[in-house]
Amino acid sequence: MAFATQLPESRQDDPSGAPLLPEGVLRTFLLVAFVFLLWGIPNNLNDVLIRQFMKSFELNRFQAGLVQFAFYLGYFLLALPAGIIMRRKGYKAGFLTGLCLFAAGCLSFPFAANSGQYSYFLAALFVIAMGLSFLETAANPFMVQLGPTVTSERRLNIAQTCNSLGSILGVVAGNLFIFSGVELTPQQRAAMQAAGTYADYLHKETLRIAAPYVVLGILALVWAGLIAVTKFPAFITQREHTAEVAGKPSELLREKHFLFSLLAQFMYVGAQVGSWSYVIQYAHDYVHAAERTAGWMLTGTLIAFALGRVLSSYLMRSILPSRLMAIYAGCNIVLLITAIAVPGWAGLSAVLATSFFMSLMFPTIFSLGLKDLGPNTNVAASLLVMMIVGGAVMPPIMGLLAEHLHSTALSYLVPLVGYVVTLAFALFMTRYHRRREALSTFEV
């Protein structure tokens, strides 16, 4: 990356000895790492919302899948404007705009809950996603550029581990504060309808959704204040200036590895979101798990996801990131074939295990896609964030497939394709790395 020479005290020529962070930036790293945690919470609260909305609004799987469509559509539509704004105004403007939109969407939830309108919830989720689009567009390249280029994948994986912790907190909060644990039998439902109390029950189930989002919105506003008074490192400011005056986004069309990373990110995010969105439904269909039990299973798989990121950050010290991602993608292909072919406890265990191996994929695809892009890094990051729209596309497709084929297991064919594409990108980037090494050796 062209900016690497501006880093203080970075041994760029020695990948094994290069520092993870330059001196004096730890406080900034921790401040932004907590932003990763913050946006992980609503990302995986969506998985709880899908099941809760199916109950409180009596939706089918396709209709409930619109939660992810509305959410990730917000990512898609705002990512490029976010990149343009940050190219002109800097990372801090991106963080502050994102946190304020995030808070606004969260604080809209009490109104949506009292209205009893599903569409109002979708609108609030869209606003939250608009904010998260700014945060991801700012935070991911910020972490990539906060230290030596050779340690960018490790640095981003560590930051994304905080995102995994947020995901776990989101599901735990949903399980404790959104799921009531009350699941009516057809006979109980008919009795409540006859007594005229069923509508009141559904409304109370809807109201349970609001409180966690109010707390989250307040926390986002507090963190916006902390970022507003924090001075970012001087070399980050210099990079922002260089990107503004020297960037030529049209040059990205000649970068094959970047173009492939767009497809890989679209397919991977769709696979991740789709897999998690239907874990609870899969557990309900094939092992007859209660919603709270299935919710704790989802929590367990997110813990595996976080552990996978910790282990991956360590393994990347000795294994090429693209090679490690190829191994992980291959493991997930085998696991999803098992989940499709053997629905039941074996299949559910396979679905849950995929989280461990998907753990390194988003930050690694992101970092690899930004390699050697110089002043076009911010715009490229915006386009990569736009590819999160895969999370809007795949869950509804999985829902339609499940409804049409009467099988949640067969709907996992969709994320299976996503991991096949991820494997192809990982192999491509391994060859890309070898070519760069060979060229570097030749030049020396």
Which residues touch 109 (CB under 8 Å, ≥6 apart)? 121, 124, 209, 210, 213, 214, 217
What tens digit of pLDDT does each residue of 391-403 get? Answer: 888 888 998 899 8
Q: What is the CATH number of the domain that holds 227?
A: 1.20.1250.20
* Nearest partner of 368 among 411, 313, 425, judged by Cα: 425
* Nearest partner of 418 among 294, 329, 289, 293, judged by Cα: 329
Tally of domains within the chain:
1
pLDDT for res 171: 85
Q: Report yes or no on 13 lying in a domain.
A: no
Q: Report yes or no on 372 lying in a domain.
A: yes
Full domain range(s) for residue 150:
22-243+255-443
Q: Report yes or no on 5 lying in a domain.
A: no
Burial of 58 (0-12, 13-18, 19+ CB in 10 A): exposed
On whether the CB atoms of residues 289 and 362 are closer than 8 A, the answer is no
Q: Report yes or no on 196 lying in a domain.
A: yes
pLDDT for res 73: 87
Q: Report yes or no on 229 lying in a domain.
A: yes
Entry pTM: 0.76
pLDDT for res 3: 35
pLDDT for res 120: 95
Low-confidence ranges of the chain (pLDDT < 50): 1-16, 244, 444
Q: Report yes or no on 1 lying in a domain.
A: no
On whether the CB atoms of residues 286 and 344 are closer than 8 A, the answer is yes
Q: How many other β-carbons are positioned within 10 Å of the β-carbon of residue 120?
A: 16
Q: Report yes or no on 164 lying in a domain.
A: yes
343 — phi, psi (to 5°)? -65, 140
pLDDT for res 239: 62
Q: Report yes or no on 382 lying in a domain.
A: yes
Amino acid identity for residue 305 in this structure: F
Amino acid identity for residue 187 in this structure: Q
